[in-house]
Amino acid sequence: MAIFNNIIKSDGNSLVRKPTSTFAGVVGFPLTYAVLPYAQINNLVGWFNNGDGVTTATGVSAWVDRISGASLAQATGALQPTYTQQVNTLNGKNNISFAATQTLSAGDVFDIGLNTGHTICWYGKIKTLNTNRSVLGKSNQGASPLTVAGEYKITGGGTTTISAQFFDTALRTTAAVSFDAANFFLYSLVIDRTANLLYLYINERAAASVAIAADLTTNYNNGSLFIQNNNNSGTLDSLEILVYQTALTQAEIAQNSIAMRGKYGQI
């Protein structure tokens, strides 16, 4: 099993924190130190966990992924999102709040490569958004449609809607669907290269889909930025991000959605 920052990833098991006391070890694995207490498939490659690996300066200067150590970072103080700890309405969890000009980026990480699928899951609240502005994804096109093979993002479909985008041989964009600006949801983008479909999920619901190229031979290693909230994209509250090198099924998306809502008291 892999260990990074005291997080243990056991194949087909939960993610758990390595015991830091004799008491924790005696009581037993994983009850006293589970940190993502539901089964995760082996292709989980990125996990920006709530409250873990966050460095603050003016605002959030870095948010470190607990699996591989990739860091969503921002060196410029004015562009750093605001960090609020122990929010009562979120089960005492922490919130990263992005204003319209604030962004975090991680560089060349989380490529699709030659994998048969790819998934990003983001639990948060979209408060305001504009057309084509990125919420989360791998792209240099913050305020424009994607133009590079392998880029993907959850993006604004309009001022009150979102869509999923992926560029293979051309731009593929799902139909725009409405978001609820008052509540937190699990928003998921799923690239299924075996079924040749791009999906956008809101919680457990497959909200929209569109066909993508029937091609498993292209290596989608695009080298662009992995970002949360491009400059001038809108305003949002961010709680957690999961990245997988596989296309999650609807049942797996549902499992994540139910667990997230329970974790943050949003049921």
Q: Before 145, cis peptide (omega within 30)?
A: no
Other CB atoms within 10 Å distance of the CB of residue 160: 15
Write down the pLDDT at residue 2. 44
Per-residue pLDDT tens digits for 48-104: 999 999 999 999 999 999 998 999 999 999 999 999 999 999 999 999 999 999 999
Which stretches in the chain have pLDDT values below 70? 1-41
Sheet order of strands, 34-36 included: 2-4, 7-9, 15-17, 34-36
Q: How far apart are CA 234 and CA 58, in angstroms?
A: 20
Write down the pLDDT at residue 29. 39
- Cα angle 244, 246, 251 (rounded to 5 degrees) comes to 90
Task: Show me where the domains of the chain are located.
Answer: 1-40, 42-263
Q: How far is CA 34 from the centre of its chain?
A: 20
Contact 47, 109 (CB under 8 A): no
Which residue, chain included where needed, has tokens 């997080």? 7
- DSSP three-state, residue 221: coil
- Cα angle 43, 107, 95 (rounded to 5 degrees) comes to 75
Q: How far apart are CA 50 and CA 154, in angstroms?
A: 20
The alpha carbon dihedral of 69, 260, 210, 171 has a sign of negative
Which residue, chain included where needed, has tokens 């809101």? 202
Q: What is the architecture of the domain spanning 42-263? A: Sandwich (2.60)
Write down the pLDDT at residue 42. 72
Contact 110, 243 (CB under 8 A): yes
